[in-house]
Amino acid sequence: MLALERLGHAGLDVAEFRRQSLGMLRSLISIDAAFFATVDPATLLFTGALAEEPLAAATPLFLDNEFGHDDVNKFARLARATDCVGTLDHATRGDRTTSSRYREVLQPLGLGDELRVALVTGGRCWGVLCLHRQDSPRGFGEREIAFLRRLAPQLAEGLRNGIALFSTTPDTGVAEGPGIIVLGSDLSVVSINPQAQRWLSHLGDTDWPTHLGLPLPIYAAAAQVMGHENEGAATPTATRLQRTDGGWLTVHASPLTGSAGHHIAVILDAANASQLSSLVLAAHGLTPAQSRVAALVLQGRSTRHIVEELHISSNTVQEHLRAVFEKFGIGSRRELVAALSGRPH
């Protein structure tokens, strides 16, 4: 436990933290396959993932199950539940065949029980972990479940710290303009413009399954839109991804209808300060009160305006700002605005 806590503060990027922490887990618990993903805490959509074989081969079926159908232990439910850990055997009372995920995804891969964990800290989910056993009567035991329950906040902190370390990298990329991808009902690429191809070249999570034509987060956003359509609600969705050239990218997915049938439009573009600030503030562990003050600073509000809007004293505003500056490692409002805007300061 202490070794994992030290790892979470070792200055690792998210992908490296995933790999090393999963290696530590394997030395403590029997694992036959694993899925370890970061999520956008606002939408719970995947923003990066390590998917081991044979899991990566079943990505389309997995996404369809996760976002398109009801089943046990959905990640979004675990993220909001009192208990963030669940196993397939417990949820199905020992009858795995009652889960469509087992019948359609896991059993054909030779997998049996799965242990799912929502990685929550400070009231926000930063990632999800799914551990698998080969298909046999032996599932995950109570001691293993309790161990992962204790470990979950430390894994969440490691992911949050990794995002915070690189979240304020200056945006040095050249403006590309919006990228457009049109996906079919089977998530195949119908069309894509050159701007989208350039944006995709700036997404560098090396743990994404390489056999997929697009990064997993884009498929996940589209699959969620399709799931909403199946429920009778044509709801768009959005998430935010870090870029290798500095700065962030927004991914917007929306349903399309027309004579050619149902399609999903995915728009890629540079994230602006308002789209990014809530994520960056949360990644740096700001309290709700500190986040409110920082958000108003980003809007250019003076101390007097912040006092009037939040009904707090000027001393309290300054206390919150000092705490914010300390967490970001900066010393002025100008540097804070630059950090949250992704601009060099």
- Tens digits of residue pLDDT in 28-65: 999 999 999 999 998 999 998 999 989 988 988 999 99
Ranges 1-5, 94-98, 234-238: which has the least confidence: 1-5
The half-sphere exposure of 24 on its side-chain side, counting CA atoms within 13 A, is: 17
Same domain, 79 and 32: yes
Same domain, 152 and 290: no
- Amino acid letter, 11: G
Residue 251 in any domain: the answer is yes
Residue 209's CATH number:
3.30.450.20
Cβ proximity of 268 and 251 under 8 Å: yes
Same domain, 85 and 186: no
- Amino acid letter, 237: T
pLDDT confidence band for 242 (50 / 70 / 90) = confident
Same domain, 19 and 136: yes
Cβ proximity of 248 and 40 under 8 Å: no
The most distant pair of C-alpha atoms in the chain lies apart, rounded to whole Å, by 65
Tokens 């300054």, residue located: 318
Tokens 């108003």, residue located: 296
Domain encompassing residue 45: 2-166
Q: What is the pLDDT of residue 232?
A: 63
Could you give the CA distance from residue 139 to residue 149 in angstroms, rounded to a whole number? 16
Same domain, 100 and 62: yes
Residue 90 in any domain: the answer is yes
Q: What is the pLDDT of residues 80-109, one digit of tens each?
A: 999 999 999 999 999 999 999 999 999 999
Tokens 């972990």, residue located: 129
Looking at 124, 145, 166, which one is the last position of a domain? 166
Residue 278 in any domain: the answer is no
Same domain, 146 and 37: yes
* CA 72, chain centre distance (Å): 20
Q: What is the pLDDT of residues 144-186, one digit of tens each?
A: 999 999 999 999 999 999 988 877 665 655 557 899 999 998 8
Q: How many residues does the chain have?
A: 345
Same domain, 292 and 243: no
Same domain, 92 and 189: no
Same domain, 298 and 245: no
Residue 203 in any domain: the answer is yes
Structurally, the chain folds into a number of domains equal to 3
Could you give the CA distance from residue 278 to residue 257 in angstroms, rounded to a whole number? 32
Which among 114-118, 184-188, 288-292 has the top mean pLDDT?
Answer: 114-118
pTM, rounded to two decimals: 0.87
Residue 203 has pLDDT above 50, yes or no: yes
Residue 24 in any domain: the answer is yes
DSSP 86: E
Same domain, 256 and 196: yes
Q: What is the pLDDT of residue 345?
A: 45
pLDDT confidence band for 243 (50 / 70 / 90) = confident
Looking at 107, 136, 166, which one is the last position of a domain? 166
Number of H helices, E strands in the chain: 14, 10
In sequence order, what are the residues at sequence separation of 6 or more whose Cβ sits closer than 8 angstroms to the Cβ of residue 14? Answer: 38, 48, 159, 162, 163, 166, 205
Residue 81's CATH number:
3.30.450.40
Could you give the CA distance from residue 15 to residue 3 in angstroms, rounded to a whole number? 18
Residue 279 in any domain: the answer is no
Could you give the CA distance from residue 193 to residue 180 in angstroms, rounded to a whole number? 6
Tokens 């994230």, residue located: 271
Residue 209 in any domain: the answer is yes
Residue 256 has pLDDT above 60, yes or no: yes
Q: What is the pLDDT of residue 171?
A: 61
* CA 120, chain centre distance (Å): 11
Looking at 218, 247, 273, which one is the last position of a domain? 273
Same domain, 115 and 203: no
Same domain, 261 and 197: yes
Helices (H), the chain: 2-8, 14-26, 59-68, 75-80, 88-91, 100-101, 142-166, 194-200, 216-230, 273-283, 288-298, 303-310, 314-328, 333-341
